[in-house]
Amino acid sequence: MRICKEVVIIEKILANREIKMKIIEVDEELYQYIASQTRSIGESASDILRRLLSLPVHTSIVNDLIITSAETDQKPKQAINVKEVNIKTTKKQSITAINQIVEKVQTLLNSTEFQEESKAVVRFLAILRVLYRTNPESFAQATESLQGRTRVYFARDEATLLMAGNHTKPKQIPDTPYWVITNTNSGRKMLMLEGAMQSMELPETLIDEVRSYFTVN
């Protein structure tokens, strides 16, 4: 039986205009290809398709493409829109502090437990845990830099994330006071990690190493 993904395009028209919804189905291979073309945190699938098709970006319309699996009863996932992310200046870290984080993350990545873990969400939370516990102050600044105007990706309590709906599936980062949304695919989880790690001034070589564990096959 052919596995299909249901793609919901929600066009949010300007005030006083109706909201239109269009639904298309794509097969598994095409779905994975679209997800693999994500370039930055917040880039919606609609943005990806417009880029791939060389279509102009509308200035008056914000398009969110929400992809859900036809195999499950999950509600549509909330897309992370790069237009809504506020990039904030973070305090510079010392070389020593950066090296300490790099060492801890590499130790995690090389551990047998991490390498044998098949669930992306568990790997996601494990890396966030190490980032926080190695340098809480820098991690706090990094999560603030990923704060959206209308969406919250990290919070110090579950209720804040649930304000956007139960579908955000907030989970607490182990051994930290932080919660994070987890209703994203592997590619989006990696984009959140990449944003945090770049904010913490971690080297691209380490980010690339982490990315290899979140590659869409």
Residues 119 and 195 placed together within one structural domain of the fold: yes
Domain boundary among 83, 111, 146: 83
Domain boundary among 46, 64, 83: 83
pLDDT < 70 regions, the chain? 1-24, 26-29, 31-32, 35-36, 38-45, 57-91, 148-150, 216-217
- Domain region containing 104: 87-211
* Rounded CA separation 24/35 (Å): 16
| CATH for 91 | 1.20.1380.10
Residues 162 and 205 placed together within one structural domain of the fold: yes
Question: Is 216 part of any domain?
Answer: no
Number of domains in the chain: 2
Residues 65 and 132 placed together within one structural domain of the fold: no
Whole-angstrom distance between the N-terminal and C-terminal Cα of the chain? 20
Backbone angles phi, psi at 171, to 5 degrees: -135, 145
Report pLDDT for 47. 72
Report pLDDT for 94. 86
Distances 136 to 24, 80, 177 between C-alpha atoms, Å: 43, 24, 10
* Rounded CA separation 124/184 (Å): 11
The helix-helix angle for 45-52 and 28-36 (nearest 10°) equals 90
Report pLDDT for 188. 87
Residues 99 and 58 placed together within one structural domain of the fold: no
Report pLDDT for 52. 79
Residues 50 and 16 placed together within one structural domain of the fold: yes
Report pLDDT for 22. 60
Report pLDDT for 149. 57
* Rounded CA separation 195/60 (Å): 27
Strand partners, 148: 85
Residues 91 and 191 placed together within one structural domain of the fold: yes
